[in-house]
Amino acid sequence: MNENFGANVSSRAVWLVVNTHSNREALAERNLISQGFEVYGPVIQKQIRHARRVHDALRPLFPDYLFVCRDSHELRWRPILSTLGVRSVVCNGEEPSLLHGSLIADLKARERDGIIGRPASPLKVGHAVRVARGPFDGLVGKIIELCEKDRLIVLMDFLNQPIKVTVTQGLLSVC
Same domain, 23 and 98: yes
Angstrom distance (rounded) from CA 153 to CA 165: 5
pLDDT of 11 above 70: no
Higher pLDDT, 122 or 1: 122
Angstrom distance (rounded) from CA 43 to CA 130: 33
Listed ranges 58-67, 68-77, 164-173; the one with the highest mean pLDDT:
58-67
What pLDDT is recorded for position 120?
65
Counting every residue written for the chain, the total comes to 175
162: helix, strand or coil? strand
Number of domains in the chain: 2
Same domain, 103 and 71: yes
State pLDDT tens for residues 81-94: 999 999 999 999 98
Mean pLDDT of 23-44: 95
For the chain, what is the mean pLDDT? Answer: 86
CATH of residue 137? 2.30.30.30
Helices (H) and strands (E) in the chain, counts: 2, 16
Higher pLDDT, 2 or 158: 158
Same domain, 28 and 95: yes
Neighbouring residues of 146: CB distance < 8 A, sequence distance ≥ 6 = 121, 123, 124, 125, 152, 153
Mean pLDDT of 57-78: 86
In a domain, 57, yes or no: yes
Domain that holds residue 136: 128-174
Same domain, 69 and 25: yes
